[in-house]
Structure 1
Amino acid sequence: MTQKMRAAVLVEPRRFELDLRPVPDIQPGEVLLEVARCGICGTDTHIYDGSFMAHRLPLVPGHEFSGRVVQSGAKSGVAEGIAAVVDINHGCGRCYYCRRGQLMNCPSIKQIGIDVDGGFADYVRVPAHLVIQAPETTSFDVLALTEPVACVVHTAVRSGLEPARAVLIIGAGPIGNLHIQMQRLTGAAPIIVAETSSERAKLAKAAGADAVVSDPKRLLDVVREMTDGRGVDLAIESVGATALYELAQVALRPGGHLAAFGLPPEGSELKVDLLSTVLREYSLMGSVAGPGQAMHYALSLLCHGRFDTTAFTAATYTLDDIGTAFETLSDRPSDLKTQIILNDAL
């Protein structure tokens, strides 16, 4: 293709430039996707402020996107014209970790929109095997939620699917709210949420939380009251703060699991009582992204209406206003997700 496209390039922390650049040429085994919508993720905000992946700049961020395949390279096996979402996680496919289905540990892993240019552009070039066809009956704004939903699906699967387990979710921002909805689907009971924002606390309750605690000093008392004094079976930290990880750790019952999901600052350390960990058989599990089958699960759940997406699709900005969209995120706590509209006519 010889035409030009718009791309929002993060040239340095907190500064986007709208660039007019050639549409990418695709190679055999690749496809070109015209982007309809692309959501702003918490990871994007860390890239934006320079606290994560600053060495990759300049970069076109954006990894929560949906769109339509407009060109397929040789041997791609992908039909042109289909609606699609993309698994952004590209492993080598050959190493020890990829062979075991643990591609997030692949030494060559690259993530679209994080390591290489992503979805805040009119078009994005992607490996064909990462493209997932989506039904035409589901809107592109909902389809753009597939990647973040895949992340919470991945956490749920990795932490073991067990009905009626007591779950604590710390943080009810965008991903925390999705964790609430996902845990409700798995049959968790009770679901206890820690959230200081009154707006997000209301949304957490509406999403299915049995209790929302706004005062951190009361959290452990509420956990004990709702679990007959035991503590929770599973705690999910979705903020990325060391103090909250420590709080989640204390809230566990003996034999409980802590799912480390929130991204803390690089070099953060968690104090662990090793003797207690051994004697009470606590476990700590990291969970990042939503690769592979998690994307397919997420797409099916979204297309069949298993998630309430209302608060995730209402806030929209154009690509021209992407800087404003990022700068005003913290002023809009009731907007659980902000999406950039690239082409609503697809």
Structure 2
Amino acid sequence: MTTSPYRWMMTGVGQPMIKEPMEIGTLEPGEVLVAIAGCGVCHTDLDYYYNGVRTNHPLPLALGHEISGRVAGVGAGAESWLGKAVIIPAVIPCGECDLCKRGKGTICRSQKMPGNDLQGGFATHVKVPAKGLCEVDEARLKAAGLELAEVSVVADALTTPFQAATQAGVGPGDLVIVIGCGGVGGYSVQVASAMGAKVVALDIDPSKLEAVKASGATLTLNPKDFPGTREIKKEIGAFAKAQGLRSTEWIIMECSGSVPGQQTAFDLMVHGCTICVVGYTMNKAEFRLSNLMAYHARALGNWGCTPDLYPGALDLVLSGKVNVKNFVECRPLDSINETFADVHDHKLSRRAVLRPHV
């Protein structure tokens, strides 16, 4: 190893993270050591760091769960992974329990999340179970003009909306409304468009609307330009009619993780509607749930993404159907404290990816 292994550790809420040496130790059977290429800064990391959301692993802890890298060491039974470029799932199901065997890995009670249950990716190296790793075809990666660090965001920012769109059944002829177009929302627009849907994007930030307009949104709307949600719904209905789309069964992806965004999602409900709850907030909202009954609609939660869906999400990137490069900004890992502050203060328009080897 050319760089002595180290991690940036969170020691307390809002306290500066501290760089500490990392002992590799022995790899357990089925475990791999990944030399990290890049790790994305997710808003979940900000919730741990700034808002005091409790991590399952006690502090001190290295945060970070959007990780790509190269397998540099293997335990018994994982030898086939040595040297491969990989993306580590943000949530790793055990693969052995009844839930996993029935295809319900997202609610596996033994799942492990780097930067929450395990030491995370704001480091030079990370040890994780080999189960669920997503191999990256480096020839296709190069042909797509991408670096391994840049596809780290596939591990959450992309796979989360990919799973949401998959379980909602997004396809050609669908109208998809994405609320909140930064980060996960921006990828939601791209994923829905790649799956053949017509996409309406809502955001109060004009720059975010411009970005998604160039990458899959057919119609962009700023709620600030309308007196209320009733007028937004009318505008979307007129758009659907002009596009030859159904006035029923809209798919609404709430990605803002805000109370106003969630309220807008419920207010835009139509008959047969599907609301995908993708964004997260600790704040409480008040809804009339009877609308789900009246409209024969459904609301679907979306926790992470099962590893079996990762190759499909990555293929959208490597085939050029989803643009990652224009939506990430790579920074040195040692800028972690400054970068967290910049993300928290909304100074970045792209997803920050921290790279240990620059």
After TM superposition, the score normalised by the length of structure 2 is: 0.88
How is 1:147-296 mapped onto 2 (pairs within 5 angstroms)?
147=155, 148-189=157-198, 191-216=199-224, 217=228, 218-228=231-241, 230=247, 233-265=250-282, 268-274=284-290, 276-296=291-311
Task: Please report how far the alpha carbon of residue 132 of structure 1 lies from its aligned counterpart in structure 2 after TM superposition.
Answer: 2.3
Task: Please report how far the alpha carbon of residue 107 of structure 1 lies from its aligned counterpart in structure 2 after TM superposition.
Answer: 1.8
Give the Cα–Cα distance (whole angstroms) in 2 for the partners of residues 79 and 244 of structure 1.
42
Give the Cα–Cα distance (whole angstroms) in 1 for the partners of residues 351 and 249 of structure 2.
28
Task: Please report how far the alpha carbon of residue 51 of structure 1 lies from its aligned counterpart in structure 2 after TM superposition.
Answer: 4.1
Match of 2:149 among 113, 131, 141: 141
Q: Please say if 1:129 is aligned against 2:146.
A: no
Structure 1 140/76 Cα, relative in aligned 2: closer, same or farther at 3 Å? Answer: same
In terms of fraction of residues, the more strand-rich structure is 1
Structure 1 167/199 Cα, relative in aligned 2: closer, same or farther at 3 Å? Answer: same
Structure 1 169/156 Cα, relative in aligned 2: closer, same or farther at 3 Å? Answer: same
Secondary structure of the residue that 2:194 maps to in structure 1?
A: helix
Q: Please say if 1:64 is aligned against 2:66.
A: yes
Structure 1 158/24 Cα, relative in aligned 2: closer, same or farther at 3 Å? Answer: farther
Task: Please report how far the alpha carbon of residue 182 of structure 1 lies from its aligned counterpart in structure 2 after TM superposition.
Answer: 0.3
Q: Comparing 173-182 with 193-202, which one deviates more in the overlay?
A: 193-202
Contact 1:199 1:334 survives alignment (8 Å): no
Give the Cα–Cα distance (whole angstroms) in 2 for the partners of residues 71 and 156 of structure 1.
35
After TM superposition, the score normalised by the length of structure 1 is: 0.91
The corresponding residue for 2:116 is 114
The corresponding residue for 2:313 is 298
The amino acid that maps onto 1:33 is V
Secondary structure of the residue that 1:110 maps to in structure 2?
A: coil
Contact 2:35 2:71 survives alignment (8 Å): yes
Contact 1:223 1:231 survives alignment (8 Å): no
Instruction: Show CA shifts across 1:198-221 (max 9, x none).
Output: 211110111111221112435223
Q: Comparing 134-143 with 153-162, which one deviates more in the overlay?
A: 134-143
Give the Cα–Cα distance (whole angstroms) in 1 for the partners of residues 106 and 285 of structure 2.
22
Match of 1:317 among 317, 321, 331: 331
Identity of aligned residues (%): 23
Contact 2:56 2:116 survives alignment (8 Å): no
Task: Please report how far the alpha carbon of residue 55 of structure 1 lies from its aligned counterpart in structure 2 after TM superposition.
Answer: 5.9
Structure 1 93/309 Cα, relative in aligned 2: closer, same or farther at 3 Å? Answer: closer
The amino acid that maps onto 1:282 is A
Contact 2:158 2:313 survives alignment (8 Å): yes
The amino acid that maps onto 1:52 is V
The amino acid that maps onto 2:277 is A
The corresponding residue for 1:47 is 48
Task: Please report how far the alpha carbon of residue 255 of structure 1 lies from its aligned counterpart in structure 2 after TM superposition.
Answer: 0.9
Task: Please report how far the alpha carbon of residue 110 of structure 1 lies from its aligned counterpart in structure 2 after TM superposition.
Answer: 1.8
Give the Cα–Cα distance (whole angstroms) in 1 for the partners of residues 55 and 66 of structure 2.
19
